[in-house]
Amino acid sequence: MVFDNLLNPVLGPLLKLPSLLAVFILSFGISLIITLIYKFATNQSLMKDLKDEMKAFQNQIKELRSEPQKAMEVQKKAMKTNMKYMSHSMKSTLFTFIPIIIIFGWMNTHLAFDPIMPGQDFTTSVYFEEGADGEISLNALEGIFLQSDAHKKVEGEVSWILNGEEGEYLIEYEFNGNKYFKEVLITTENEYRTPVKSVKDGNINRIEIKHDKNIVLNLFGWKLGWLGTYIILSIIFSMVLRKMMKIY
């Protein structure tokens, strides 16, 4: 990731924590930053007036249930006020959108999957384009141990089981005289390399190092990764922070 070198010194220490705690801290931090920017990027006095106005319109609509025509006119006024409220609310998005996307990219790079541990079996797969034929071989480097045949007949998908010692390796695949490479990181730290490498050269579609999904939160059998956990926590934090800071 392009911004890894920039973010790792700041966010990297979180990777030494359990994933749930890391996402908890990140969710709170991001929610706090967004809330503060929203508070200072908007006219809170105006936002309060608009919100009170919308509430008054809603009460009028309830009172005019027996008079649909008048209720419709009030509804139009309410929609106009709501659009004005939304347009002012969007101002803070201009300041937060790009930084949040960058942080999301970092989280996806470091928290989406479990790492491959030393001595743990893992699978690498090569996915072929339709019509590809022949034999493919995998060349394991020192420190990587192949648990299946190195040479295999090409089908839609060809897989090998490997394990290895701690370290970073470049696995070599050879097909029809061409060599392809995919990096793999074996570590006790909460790190991994991008699992999928796109090739699409007419023979091979992609190469993958398979990782287990990182289950950050098991909510009554509902297994959530970092993104689902972040969404739930950020909603809670945002509601609490906005109420504490009296933000409209």
Distance CA 194, CA 208 (A): 9
pLDDT recorded at residue 248: 86
| Cα 46 to the center of its chain, rounded Å | 35
pLDDT recorded at residue 95: 86
> 3-state DSSP call for residue 223?
strand
Distance CA 58, CA 50 (A): 12
Per-residue pLDDT tens listing for the chain (248 residues): 567 788 989 999 999 899 999 999 999 999 999 999 999 988 999 989 998 999 998 998 888 888 888 889 889 989 999 999 888 888 888 888 998 999 999 999 899 999 999 999 999 999 999 999 999 999 978 899 999 899 999 989 999 999 999 999 999 999 999 999 999 999 998 889 999 999 999 999 999 999 999 999 998 889 999 999 999 999 999 999 999 998 88
Q: What is the CATH architecture assignment of 122-209?
A: Sandwich (2.60)
pLDDT recorded at residue 132: 92
pLDDT recorded at residue 106: 92
**Per-domain residue ranges of the chain:** 4-112+225-244, 122-209
Instruction: Scan for tokens 């060349």, then name that residue.
Output: 139
pLDDT recorded at residue 2: 65
pLDDT recorded at residue 216: 96
pTM: predicted TM-score of the whole model, two decimal places: 0.80
